[in-house]
Amino acid sequence: MADFDYDVLVIGAGPGGYVAAIRAAQLGLKTACAESRETLGGTCLNVGCIPSKALLHASELYDEAANGALAKLGVKIDKMSLDLPTLQGQRVDAVKGLTGGVEFLFKKNKVTWLKGLASFTGANTVEVNGEKVTAKNIVIATGSSVAPLPGVAVDNAGRKIVDSTGALELDKVPDHLVVVGGGVIGLELGSVWKRLGAKVTVVEYLDQILPGMDGEVRKEANKIFKKQGFEYKLGTKVTGAEVGKKGVTLTVEPAAGGEAEKIEADVVLVSIGRRPNTEGLGLDKIGLELNARGQIETDHDFGTKVPGVWAIGDVIPGPMLAHKAEDEGIAVAENIAGLTGIVNHDVIPSVVYTKPEIAGVGLTEEVAKERGAIKVGKFPMLANSRAKTNHEPDGFVKIIADAETDKVLGVWIIATVAGTMIAQAAQAMEFGASSEDIAYTCHAHPTHSEAIKEAAMAVRGKPIHM
C-alpha cells in the first residue's frame, strides 16, 4: 500500500473543515488542514456568524438605551452616546479570541496547519505553497464567497458599495444604507446599522423577504421590521450603480418590468447570496465536475465520485449554515475512520438573529401541505407570560404536524430568543416526536419555551392561555 504524509488532509478551516480535522485527529488519524487565511475559523469566525453577532448584540443594547426601552423599565441613562470605535473593537476582540481558540484546539489535537492555498495535483496529492503533500483521504471544505451582482461592483475599501465583510467594518454610521437582498445576512446587518441610526431600505427581487422560510413567518417578519422603521422595495431589481463623491446612485426597476427609478444611498450593501469556492482547487486534475449550481455533489457519506476525496459544508448542496457544516465535518471524519457518520438534512434549524429572532426547522406549511394532510397549532408570544413581562410581544410559535400520525413536520418561531428555543424543536423532531409528546413535556415557567408547549397543545385545539 502507498505511503501518505497524512491519513486525512482537510482543505479549508471553516466550521466544516476545522471540526472535521479535530474529529479525525481525535479518532487517531494523522491529520493536516490547509487554510489560506491568516487565521483559522473560516467565513463564520472571521467575517460571518461571530463578528455579525458581536455587532448585533452591542447594537441591540445601544438601541434599547437610545429608543427609550430601558427608560420604560426604570433604567435611565442621562448622557448616552455611541462610541463606534469601541463597539467595533469588541467585534475584533471576539473574532481574535475565537479564531485563536481554534488554533489552540489544533495544537491540542495535533492537527497540522498547512498555511496557504491548496490545489489538487492528483486524487491523493495537493500542492500548498509550492509543496506537495499526500493524503489517503482529502476533504474539500473550501466554503463559499459573496455572490457578485452584475453592474454593482463591490469595493469594501471605498466603503460605498460593500459586501457583508465591508458592512461589518464601516467606521461611520451611514445616513442611508440600501441593502440589496432581503435574506438573512442583509436583514441582520441592516438591523445593526438601523439600530445605530441609519435609515435602511431593503431592495428585494422577490415579492417577500426571507426566501425559503414559512410564508406566514415571512409576512409577519416583514410587518415587524416595517414597524421598526425598515423601508422596503419588494419585487424590485437593481440594474446599476453609480458611485459619486457623497454616495451611490442606484438604479432599480420593477422585477416584472416597468419604469426605472433612482435611489440615493450613502452605502449600498450587496447581499444577494453566496457561491461555492472551487476556483483554483484544480478539480479538473482529479476529474471532479461541479453541478449546475457550482457545487460538489456527494453521496450520503460525503464521498465524492473520486475515491478518497470527500466534501462538506457550503461547497456542497444544502443550506449554507455553520452548524450544518460542523455536523458534516464530524460525520465525514467518522466515515473516514470506518464509523457511521450521519447528518439528518431534514432537521437543520435556521435562525435569523434580528430582534425578534426568527427560527425554523423542518418543513414550511406550504411544503408540508403539498405532501399531505396537516394540522397546525399556533401560539402568540403576546400570551406568553415571560415575553409579556419582558415587553417582547412580537411573534408566535407555529407547529406543523401530520394530520394522521401527529408527527411534527416543522416548527417556526418568531420570538426574542427563537434561536435558542428552536433547539428543543429540532431535538424533538430528531427523536420523531408527535405534537402530543411536546404538549405533555413539562416546560419550566416562566420561559419563552412554554409557547412551544402551548402551540403543540393548539395542534390538538387545546392551548391553556388563549
Ligand X SMILES: Cc1cc2nc3c(=O)[nH]c(=O)nc-3n(C[C@H](O)[C@H](O)[C@H](O)COP(=O)(O)OP(=O)(O)OC[C@H]3O[C@@H](n4cnc5c(N)ncnc54)[C@H](O)[C@@H]3O)c2cc1C
Give the active site residues.
445
Q: What are phi and psi of 25, to 5 degrees?
A: -65, -40
Q: Which is nearer to ligand X, 185 or 455 (CB)?
A: 185
| Residue 320 within binding range of ligand X, rule CB under 6 A | yes
Q: Compute CA distances 25 → 14, 124, 127, 333, 406, whole Å.
A: 16, 18, 21, 9, 42
Site string for ligand X, 162-181 (x = CB under 6 A): --x-----------------
Min CB(117)–ligand X separation in Å = 4
Shortest Å, Cβ 128 to ligand X? 7
Cβ atoms 426, 347 nearer than 8 A = yes
Q: Which amino acid is at 294?
A: G
463 binds ligand X (CB under 6 A): no
349-378 footprint of ligand X as x/- string (CB under 6 A) = ----x-------------------------
The answer to whether residue 31 forms part of the interface with ligand X (CB under 6 A) is no
| Cis preceding-peptide flag for 317 (omega within 30 of 0) | no
For the segment 130-149, give every residue that binds ligand X (CB under 6 A): 141-144
Under the binding rule (CB under 6 A), the answer on residue 42 touching ligand X is yes
275 binds ligand X (CB under 6 A): no
Alpha helix segments (H runs only) across 75-170: 84-109, 164-168
Q: Does 43 bind ligand X (CB under 6 A)?
A: yes
What's the closest the beta carbon of residue 36 comes to ligand X, in angstroms?
A: 4
Position 185 contacts ligand X (CB under 6 A): yes
146 Cβ partners below 8 Å, 6+ apart?
A: 154, 163, 164, 165, 270, 271, 274, 275
C-beta of residue 265 within 8 angstroms of C-beta of residue 250: yes
Beta strand 118-122 with 125-128: parallel, antiparallel or unpaired? antiparallel
Phi, psi dihedral angles at 397 (to 5 degrees): -115, 135
The binder of ligand X chosen from 21, 94, 118, 381 (CB under 6 A): 118
117 belongs to the binding site for ligand X (CB under 6 A): yes
322 binds ligand X (CB under 6 A): yes
- Binding segment for ligand X (CB under 6 A), chosen from 33-41, 64-72, 290-298, 392-400, is 33-41
Neighbours of 193 (CB within 10 A): 22
**Judged by CB under 6 A, which of 6, 7, 9, 14 binds ligand X?**
14
Under rule CB under 6 A, residue 323 binds ligand X: yes
Residues 399, 363 contacting (CB under 8 angstroms): no
Query: What is the sign, positive or negative, of the torsion defined by CA atoms of 73, 90, 231, 224?
Result: negative
Interacting residues with ligand X (CB under 6 A): 11-17, 34-37, 42-44, 48-49, 52, 117-118, 141-144, 164, 185, 277, 280-281, 313-314, 320-323, 325, 353
